[in-house]
Structure 1
Amino acid sequence: MRILFLAPHPFYQDRGTPIAVKLMLQTLSERGEEVDLLTYHEGKEVSYPNICIHRIANLGFVRNVRPGFSWKKVICDFFMFLSMCSMLLKKRYDIVHAVEESAFMAIFVKMLIRIPYIYDMDSSMAQQIVEKSPSLKPISRLLDLLEGVAVKKALAVMPVCEALADIALTHDRNKKVLILHDVPLSTENKNGQNINIGNEIETSGLRVVYVGNLEPYQGIDLLLKSFQMVLAKRNSTNLVIVGGMDSDIQKYKSKCKQLGIAEKVHFVGQRPIDNLEGYLQQADILVSPRITGKNTPMKIYSYLQSGKAVLATNIYSHTQLLNDQVAAIAEPTPEAFSGSLLQLVEDGALRMKIGAAGKRLVEQQYSLESFKEKVNDLYDWVERNINN
Structure 2
Amino acid sequence: MRILILAPQPFFVPRGTPIAVRALMQVLAGQGHEIDAICFAEGEDPGIPGVGLYRLPALPGLRSVPPGFSLKKSVCDVIMLPMAAWRLWRGKYDLVIAVEEAAFLALALKPVFGVPYIYDVDSSIPEQLNDKFALPGWLHRLLSRAEARAARGAVGAITCCRALEELVKGYVPGLPVQTLEDVTLIAEAGAPPEDCRFDEPVIMYIGNLESYQGVDLLIRGFARSEGPGRLVIIGGVQAHIDALRKLADEVGAADRVSFLGPRPVERIGDYLSRADIVVSPRTQGRNTPMKVYSYLDSGRPLLATRLPTHTQVLDDEIALLVDPTPEDMARGIATLLSDADHRARLVEQARRRVAAEFSPDAYARKLTSFLNETIAPRLAEERQ
So what's the TM-score if we normalise by structure 2? 0.96
Partner SS, residue 258 of structure 2: strand
Separation in 2 of the partners of 1:220 and 1:173?
A: 37
Instruction: Find out whether 1:383 has 2:380 as its counterpart.
Output: no
Matched, 1:369 2:364: no
What is the deviation of 1:136? Answer: 5.2
- Partners of 2:277 and 2:112 lie apart in 1 by 52
Deviation at 1:195, TM superposition (A): 2.5
Return the letter of the residue paired with 2:366: K
Match of 1:167 in 2: 167
2:190 maps to which of 193, 205, 209: 193
Q: Residues 95-174 of structure 1: matches in 2 within 5 Å?
A: 95-135=95-135, 137-174=137-174
Check conservation: 2:203, 2:276, Cα contact below 8 A: yes
Contact 1:286 1:311 in 2 (8 A): yes
Answering whether residue 27 of structure 2 is matched by residue 27 of structure 1, we say: yes
Partner of residue 329, structure 1: 321
- The more displaced of 101-110 and 131-140 is 131-140
Q: Superposed, which structure 2 residues align to 1:201-350 within 5 Å?
A: 201=196, 203-230=198-225, 233-234=226-227, 236-350=228-342
**2:33 corresponds to which letter in structure 1?**
E
How far apart in 2 are the matches of 1:66 and 1:273?
Answer: 17
Q: Which has the higher mean CA deviation after the structures are superposed, 17-26 or 378-387?
A: 378-387
SS of 1:185's equivalent in the other structure is coil
Identical counterparts, % of pairs: 37
Equivalent pairs, count = 380
User: Could you list the runs of 5+ residues in structure 2 that have no partner in the other structure?
Assistant: none
Q: Quickly say closer, same or farther: Cα 1:23–1:40, change in 2 above 3 A.
A: same
Match of 1:65 in 2: 65
- 2:94 is matched with 94
Question: What are the Cα deviations for residues 322-371 of structure 1, in whole angstroms up to 9, with x where unaligned?
Answer: 11111100010111111111111111221111121111111111111010
Deviation at 1:109, TM superposition (A): 1.6
Letter in 1 for 2:314: L
Query: Larger deviation: 337-346 or 1-10?
Result: 337-346
Q: Specify the code of the residue in structure 2 equivalent to 1:21.
A: V
Answer whether contact 1:130 1:137 (CA < 8 A) is retained: no
Contact 2:197 2:274 in 1 (8 A): no
Say what the alpha-carbon RMSD is for the aligned residues.
1.3
Q: What is the CA-CA distance between 1:201 and the residue it aligns to?
A: 4.7
Partner amino acid for 1:240? V
Amino acid at match of 1:328: L
